[in-house]
Amino acid sequence: MARRNVCVTGATGFVGRTLVNHLDEFGSFGITAIVRNEIAGFPSSVKVVKVENIGADTDWSKVLTDCDCIVHTAARVHVMSETTANVLAEFRKVNVQGTINLARQAARAGVKRFIFISSIKVNGEMTVLDKPFFADDVPDPVDPYGVSKMEAENGLLDIAAQNSIEVVIIRPPLVYGPGVKANFLNLMSWIWRGIPLPLGMIYNKRSFVALDNLVDFIVLCIDHPAAANQKFLVSDGEDLSTTDLIRRIGDALGKPARLLPVPVLLLTIGAAFLGKVDFAQRLCCTLQVDISKAKDLLGWSPPVNVDKGLYRVAVNFLENYAKG
């Protein structure tokens, strides 16, 4: 197979950096890591290009020369302390206008494939138990981030319909892996410190995807002919309740979780009192995805199971975060 030149935006991010390093291990890819600020820490074989801002007017000409495939992981993500009056407009600047601008220039430059890392939020925020989202469901985003990702998807498919460039859309649920931050890291820290958690009676089901599984799927989509102009959902293939997830994180850490059997109703009332309704919803609601399209159309299955994925996160946590 001929050497393919792959450009990765957001290359210093959680997904982007792992993807770049994984592609480099193959030895059959020419890799361009597109970064905003940091330029260190990549293998010497990786070309690093600095693009400070992604928007409607960004010039991508220095990136697109000889590029065969773009994997667009860069995005404006949630800002917890958001103070902007028009949040959707801010998301659109990067996630919609920036993405469409890049794709149009890529099409003109002869790039063959554009892989867009979208979000399960395009489908919606929650599902009914055992009635998962499917890749080709009618989108139903709720928040500005999900809306912006949906609009970017629609724009990309329009560009693909009018040009020779192929588009692949991947919507992951929550991604976990070594170096994971935010609520997942907090949860691991609480378990490690032996803090009792009132989460022992949550019987929901949630889909997650290990970083290794997501990266494996992205790599498959670089060349697979059947992936062209398709949307995919991706996960570990095993759905967990929040209670089960916490127990299995504890097992991976070697620190059995201390779970208190508090009913969900009391949890939600307490969360409302503390102004943490959104956080409680993420803990208690169901969000399942069906990955049968990825399996049937591309012949893909997750190479890493949940326990192995959690073990890898735990090892990284113990090496970098655990105290005492």
Residue 277 is part of which domain span?
A: 181-207+239-324
In this structure, are 89 and 38 located in the same domain? Answer: yes
List helix spans (H) across 116-263: 144-162, 182-192, 211-223, 242-253
Classify residue 44: in a domain, yes or no: yes
Q: Which of 137, 178, 159, 149 is nearest to 317 (CA)?
A: 178
In this structure, are 198 and 112 located in the same domain? Answer: no
For 58-91, the pLDDT digits (tens) are: 999 989 989 999 999 999 986 545 556 689 999 9
* Residue 1: pLDDT band with limits 50, 70, 90: low
Classify residue 227: in a domain, yes or no: no
In this structure, are 160 and 37 located in the same domain? Answer: yes
In this structure, are 159 and 39 located in the same domain? Answer: yes
Segment 6-32 shows an average pLDDT of 95
For 112-158, the pLDDT digits (tens) are: 999 999 999 999 999 999 999 999 999 999 999 999 999 999 999 99
CB 218, CB 314: distance < 8 Å = no
Query: Would you say residue 52 has pLDDT above 90?
Result: no
What pLDDT sits at residue 71? Answer: 98
> How many distinct structural domains can be found in the chain?
2
Segment 271-281 shows an average pLDDT of 81
In this structure, are 12 and 146 located in the same domain? Answer: yes
Here the CATH number for the domain that contains residue 87 is 3.40.50.720
Contacts of the segment 38-45: beta carbons below 8 A, 24+ positions apart: 38/12, 41/12, 41/17, 42/11
Kindly compute the dihedral angle of the four CA atoms of residues 131, 15, 149, 98, in this order, to the nearest 10 degrees: -170
Average pLDDT, the chain: 93
For 183-227, the pLDDT digits (tens) are: 899 999 999 999 999 999 999 999 999 999 999 999 999 999 999
Whole-number Cα distances in Å, 118 to 3, 4, 262, 315, 318: 27, 23, 35, 28, 30
In this structure, are 263 and 190 located in the same domain? Answer: yes
What pLDDT sits at residue 80? Answer: 46
Q: Which of 124, 147, 171 is the last residue of a domain?
A: 171
With 0-12 / 13-18 / 19 or more C-beta atoms within 10 angstroms meaning exposed / middle / buried, residue 82 is exposed
What CA–CA distance (Å, rounded) separates 302 from 299? 10
* Residues assigned a catalytic role: 145
Q: How many CA atoms lie within 13 A of 231 on its CB side?
A: 22
Classify residue 234: in a domain, yes or no: no
| Higher pLDDT, residue 274 or 1 | 274
Query: Would you say residue 287 has pLDDT above 80?
Result: yes
In this structure, are 195 and 78 located in the same domain? Answer: no
In this structure, are 190 and 261 located in the same domain? Answer: yes
Q: Which of 147, 171, 195 is the last residue of a domain?
A: 171
For 225-246, the pLDDT digits (tens) are: 999 999 999 999 999 999 999 9
% of the chain surpassing 70 pLDDT: 96
In this structure, are 162 and 185 located in the same domain? Answer: no
